Amino acid sequence: ATVCGADGESGGSARIAWAGPTEFWTIARPNALQVPTNEGAVTLCRFRDGRVAASFASPLTGNERWPALSAAACREPADCWFAGPVATTVDKARTGAFHLRWDGTALRSVYAPQGRAVTDLAADANGFVETTTVGPQSLSTTPAAPVPAEPLPLLLHELTGADIATDPFTPLPRDGVPPDATELLALDRDGDRIWAGGG
């Protein structure tokens, strides 16, 4: 596409989420062919039947600026989630792992209170599952902000409707590995099972 694409040199890691047989979303930075390029903005585009059905962009000014989103998944055309690192609104009123939810009519922002960056999303029978890092960015040594309530990092979250709930999974203790040193970086499905991997 000449719009809603990603510049290979500055586009970072683009993502695709299938919402139906002929409908999908892309996460990217604006393509260098776009005029104006809106340099630094994050874009979400919905493609349907081979055409761009809608596009959304993060404003470079204003109270809420989207961070570089790193995860996307859809269950159906009217149920999609997109997520990334920890973000804070300019007025400091909202903070946490940044999410956008598409409900079929509008994109709405959601901030996960745990403050752990999201690395991947996968749809399941009840909603979505997401993996997170220990810190606010992928492979970060910086503590999560805001400080999570759990004594050990809980790195799997369930998204049902517009709610985000922490799953009680904790990493298996290993000799020589601190309790907060394991991160989950990817998800995939195998039939009715979801696998999470990390390091």
Q: What is the DSSP string of the chain?
A: --SS---TTT----EEEEEETTEEEEEEPPPTTSSS--TT--EEEEEETTEEEEEEE--SSSS-------EEEEEETTEEEEEEEEEE-TTSS-EEEEEEEE-SS-EEEEEETT---EEEEEE-SSSEEEEE-SSSSTT--SPPSSPPSSSS---EEEEETTEEEE----PPP-TT--TT---EEEEEEETTEEEEEE-
pTM (2 d.p.): 0.86
Least confident of 57-66, 71-80, 89-98: 57-66
pLDDT above 80: residue 38: no
Residue 130 banded pLDDT, cuts 50, 70, 90: very high
Confidence grade of residue 148 (pLDDT, cut at 50, 70, 90): low
